[in-house]
Chains A and B, each alone.
Chain A
Amino acid sequence: MSAVMISRKVTRKWEKLPGKNTFCCDGRVMMARQKGVFYLTLFLIIGTCSLFFAFECPYLAVHLSPAIPVFAVLLFVFVMAMLLRTSFSDPGVLPRALPEEANFIEMEIEAANGNVLAGQRPPPRIKNVQINNQIVKLKYCYTCKIFRPPRASHCSICDNCVDRFDHHCPWVGNCVGKRNYRYFYLFTLSLSLLTIYIFAFDIVHVVLRSVDSGFVNTIKETPGTVLEVLVCFFTLWSVVGLTGFHTYLISLNQTTNEDIKGSWSGKNRVQNPYSHKNIFKNCCEVLCGPAYPSVLDRRGVMLEDLSSPAPSDASSTNKSSNPVSQTTKSSAPLIPNEHTPDEAKPGIGAGTQKSASSPKDEKPPSPTSPNAVTPGVIKESAH
């Protein structure tokens, strides 16, 4: 029985991911659904910088130094790169539990809670763990069916649990979490510098020109300056303040989410167990830590009758050629054999065995409806 190649449109895993994200470029880009404010951010930054390059830079390059526009360009490129990196990357989304794992956790909970009398409300699903001599409560997520790891939180806008969840930023059009927090911080920092830079040189330009031709004439010659000053003035207060706030959070190794909830505010002698008690160490961990990989295999191929492995990009995991459906129920995982293409991931589930795949072909992969096979009952009580 040879493997028959059926030419079908390749379905990648991002198309079947639960949650309210939008994906672009065939799964390479991941954002939240509401992108209106993100477009506004782009418009404001690109618009203001364009005005700066059009009106101020020619004059300043000639009268002061050509380094001024050069540095402005570098700053602008850095700001845009950080913004796009923050907006387009996976913030650290935790995939939802597959049915077997969800059942296993359910049974653990039932075993821990003991017998609950009919009519009585079951106790809240909480696990206590001790981290650095501090008791931390792990909450159960009813949507994702997992106990959230410490510092993870469920974003209701994106409908995902995000690791080291900071906040959902509409300006950036994405959640800010473990994987993109440093890009977000560098974005706010560089944007503050860019805003201060443009604001300062606007003033310098107006002053220099007014000395030559008078204030009113200057405004007539370069009307864009007024707009830039206005935008920069309001941006300054918000962005510089935000940068300062996040610098404070980084030095204490806290997230915005923890700060808002007052998790480590110090009452009841509760302290932040993740802080190294050293500002330098905290900053290093957050800003210079390792580049965590995405655990969402967005570009992996879902149908296993296609043997073409998906090319992997920098932000996807190294298992992009894994053809096994992520909603495999109780069928055996595929085992590599002599037919496995060399570049397929070694380990479980990289083979292209037809015999094992036939029961999965009929069932459309749908991670949101596991009820067909789940033996146990998954309680969907509100949380």
Chain B
Amino acid sequence: MATEFHNLQELRHSASLANKVFIQRDYTDGTICKFQTKFPSELDSRIERTLFEDTVKTLNNYYAEAEKIGGQSYLEGCLACLTVYLIFLCIETRYEKVLKKISRYIQEQNEKIYAPRGLLITDPLERGMRVIEISVYEDRGSSGSSSGSSTTSSSGR
């Protein structure tokens, strides 16, 4: 764990932000929170397609779990209504619990997979649940924690 943290520090010190890629929402199933799994061309040289798709699919599953309308959400809704929604001052909603799981997952993915490749995922919650922002860093100097390529991805410009 310490090595991965160290990698993130090196990334920040040795790399500069080259580009940002935004993964948009996928509205084909309605207004539920779901992101497109289409692999962006800017990340072609930076990360394997399968790893990226796995990350997005796992995130989509987490959001689906949070927004699932079923027994638990009815129970939560009815109980909250009976207590005039004061119960939300004491307990956490299911959605908030899943959001915490998501932020832990994103941090873990950043440490293990994305930072060593010079990438960083921003939690969609910080962007209004509209996009998954992936920051692409280019190697600035010698401490090579990111993958050695220093080409700025100019396809997006």
- Measured CB to CB, the residues of A under 8 A from B are 77-78, 81-82, 85, 94-95, 97-98, 100-101, 104-105, 107, 129-132, 136, 138, 146, 149-151, 164, 183, 186, 273-274, 284-285, 287-293, 295-297, 313-315, 317-319, 322, 326, 330-338, 345-349, 356
Q: Is the interface of A mostly helix, strand, loop or mixed?
A: loop
Question: Which residues on A sit within 8 Å (CB–CB) of B86?
Answer: 81
- Measured CB to CB, the residues of B under 8 A from A are 5, 8-9, 11-12, 15-17, 20, 22, 25, 27-31, 66-69, 73-74, 76-78, 80-81, 84-86, 88-89, 93-96, 99-100, 103-104, 106-107, 110, 120-123, 125-131, 133, 135, 137, 156-157
Nearest CB in chain A to that of B94: its residue? A290
A356 to B28, CA, bound (A): 40
Q: Contact at A293–B93, with CB atoms within 8 Å? A: yes
* A142 vs chain B, min Cβ distance (A): 16
A82 to B86, CA, bound (A): 11
- A-B interface contact total, Cβ < 8 Å: 154
Given contacts A132-B30, A285-B69, A293-B95, contact A78 B12 (CB under 8 A): no
Given contacts A149-B31, A273-B30, A332-B16, contact A318 B99 (CB under 8 A): yes
A6 to B100, CA, bound (A): 30
By Cβ-Cβ distance, the 6 closest A-B pairs, closest first, are: A288-B77, A95-B128, A347-B107, A81-B84, A314-B88, A335-B8
* B19 vs chain A, min Cβ distance (A): 9
Q: Contact at A319–B130, with CB atoms within 8 Å? A: no
Other than the given A131-B30, A293-B125, 9 more pairs (CB < 8 A) read A95-B128, A101-B22, A101-B130, A129-B27, A131-B29, A150-B30, A183-B85, A289-B67, A290-B76
B69, B121, B135 interface centre (most CB from chain A within 10 Å): B69
A42 to B51, CA, bound (A): 55
* A170 vs chain B, min Cβ distance (A): 23
* B103 vs chain A, min Cβ distance (A): 5
